[in-house]
Amino acid sequence: MKDLENKDYGLIRVAAVTPRVYLADPVRNTAEIIRLAEEAASKEASVVVFPELCTTGYTCADLFGQKQLLDAAEKAVADIAGAALPAGMLVAVGAPVRCAGRLYNCAVLIKGGKILGIVPKIYLPNHAEFYEARWFESGINVDKEIVYAGQTTRLSIKQLFSVGKAVVGVEICQDLWVPVPPCSYAALAGANVIINLSASNEALLKNDYRKQLVASTAARLNAVYVYCSCGYGESTTDLVWAGSSLISENGVLVAENERFGRESSAIYADVDVERLDTIRAKSPNFRDAGSRRADSYCTVAGGDAFPTDFGSKLLKKVDAHPFVPSGSELDARCKEILNIQVLGLCNRLEHIGCKKAVIGISGGLDSTLALLVSVLAFDKLGLDRKGVIGITMPGFGTSSRTKSNAEVLMEKLGITARQISIVPSVTQHLDDIEHALDNHDTTYENAQARERTQILMDVAGQEGGIVVGTGDLSELALGWCTYNGDHMSMYGVNASVPKTLVRALVAFAAREHFGGAQAVLEDILATPISPELLPAAADGSISQVTEDLVGPYELHDFFLYNIMRWGFTPEKVLFLAKKAFAGAYDEAVIAKWLKTFCKRFFSQQFKRSCMPDGPKVGSVSLSPRGDWRMPSDAFASIWL
């Protein structure tokens, strides 16, 4: 097995560090900044962000007009650059910078002892609380080479800084709060990490808005946003500074500090810039916006990132069940998805003037969800539930448990229930094609699946209805369906619902909508997943368990999400899966089923190329008319 641990996989560790401030005392501030930078180095951070004007303190007011303070701030930057910090770490500190008789509020970017560049603040607050325009000038028009802290560097807003696979854009505090912040242009120029050196005071509800602003900006730009504000030690003459620090990745808040502390603090996060670049490359809106921007940025090469040990010290939580959130978010998501499924079916029924829906009810999870969606759709349309026709079609492998559950469920829901055994017709068919009844191969299984589909289609024709499909996204990804059998329907309500989420949706629907059927629904949830195409065991129990044959669905859904949503390599998916499923599956087991996933996904595309209509409910869909267009003849070689 390859060594998966000694790679970065597009991950980079970022930090937001809020030092205790010694107002107007750059010497003490410098010592604290260097101490905290060394601590960040011990934690292997590659991008370390300090607050706005941290070398002096933000609230120095008219002292910014004193040469003594400005000289001391410049020396502070020189001392920070001269500190023995690792070459792989980019440090951003705030300082007042003089240039051509003007003073700018700046971020100074330092790496490996070199000042890579200086980025000035553009939008200066000029109101009762802040009056920066009294001391500083906007840096929107400055772009020149200067000598600062003993080094020649560039002073300009149009600079990006590369660190490994991260490209860092910079803005300062108020720059974020304007209608079109500088980070928008930086992101379109290629920045996938935005850092904000800030000084933001506290006021009632302000922190909630600040968090929303940071998260929404990260989401809008498909970027990481590292926000770091000043804290204890700033002047509290009129305002209080609580040291708010936030890190958001693509709209998800991944780290937040505890405000109102008296000591220095730091937060860290491992973020995936490779994933962000993939999202952008797949987004026509991002590409179109980038092609129309007028501003041009240059990227300053910062070299390699810190050699962070992501293998054993990964800070990033890897979600084992990315389709199924936890806590209160799960109920909200289930409610939304059911609404999408129900409304999609309502629209289709109403559009074609249809008042009958035919569904094959097996007593399994997928057909149960399709049935619940159909009943809710009929309720929403004001149609009699008797128009939902559920058909159980016992065959050679039908267990007494699933058959009983199917019958009880239909009775509890008040729909029309029919039972049509497929044993005689399939027996005759196998005899017709001279296939031995005791030969339990693929033909034996597929004959049953296709017979069931034929029954459903013909009953739909009799009733003037449509067949509602039951197959889910996970089965489509694996091709775990019989072509022109359970693969086919007239509207597939589960087509973009992965197997792990099907279970959650049935459980939610049982609680919220179908209390009278909760007992049978709970037993269905507890039943092993099976197509029931092979003869039942001697005791009548299920003999064919799907996950024994194709692998655990929780693994396949993890593979599906990370390969389809983010375009990750199988090697990276294996690395992440090891973290997500530590203690549940070892590397060899994960690798085995990952290979199965890749093989089946490529070989079974032909089934997806002609799949029926069905509503998209989430970020991953395999509809050939929408999210996934792939040739059926592509080879899986490089994925294997």
3-state secondary structure of 361: coil
Query: Measured between alpha carbons, how far is 471 from 459 in angstroms, rounded to an integer?
Result: 19
Give the number of other Cβ atoms within 10 Å of residue 571's Cβ: 15
Query: Measured between alpha carbons, how far is 531 from 393 in angstroms, rounded to an integer?
Result: 12
Dihedrals phi, psi of 392, to nearest 5 degrees? -90, 135
- Assess contact for 66 and 25: CB atoms under 8 A: no
Q: What residues contact residue 99 under an 8 Å CB cut-off, 6+ apart?
A: 142, 144, 146, 155
Query: Measured between alpha carbons, how far is 4 from 574 in angstroms, rounded to an integer?
Result: 8
Closest CA to 532 of 361, 397, 403: 397
- Assess contact for 607 and 628: CB atoms under 8 A: no
The angle that helices 499-512 and 328-351 make with each other, rounded to 10 degrees, is: 90
Query: Measured between alpha carbons, how far is 274 from 8 in angstroms, rounded to an integer?
Result: 10
- Assess contact for 266 and 47: CB atoms under 8 A: no
Q: What residues contact residue 244 under an 8 Å CB cut-off, 6+ apart?
A: 198, 200, 202, 207, 210, 227, 229, 257, 259
Closest CA to 171 of 146, 193, 142, 147: 193
| Secondary structure (DSSP) of 369-427 | HHHHHHHHHHHHHT--GGGEEEEE---TT--HHHHHHHHHHHHHHT-EEEE---HHHHH
Q: What residues contact residue 142 under an 8 Å CB cut-off, 6+ apart?
A: 99, 102, 104, 120, 155, 156, 157
Radius of gyration, CA atoms only, the chain: 30
- Active site residue ranges: 52, 121, 173
Residue at token pair 């197509």: 531
Q: Is 152 left (phi over 0), alpha (psi -120 to 50) or beta?
A: beta
Dihedrals phi, psi of 359, to nearest 5 degrees? -135, 135
Query: Measured between alpha carbons, how far is 425 from 593 in angstroms, rounded to an integer?
Result: 36
Query: Measured between alpha carbons, how far is 612 from 561 in angstroms, rounded to an integer?
Result: 22
Closest CA to 630 of 566, 564, 579, 584: 564
H/E element holding 68? helix 67-82
> What is the token pair recorded at 638?
């490089």
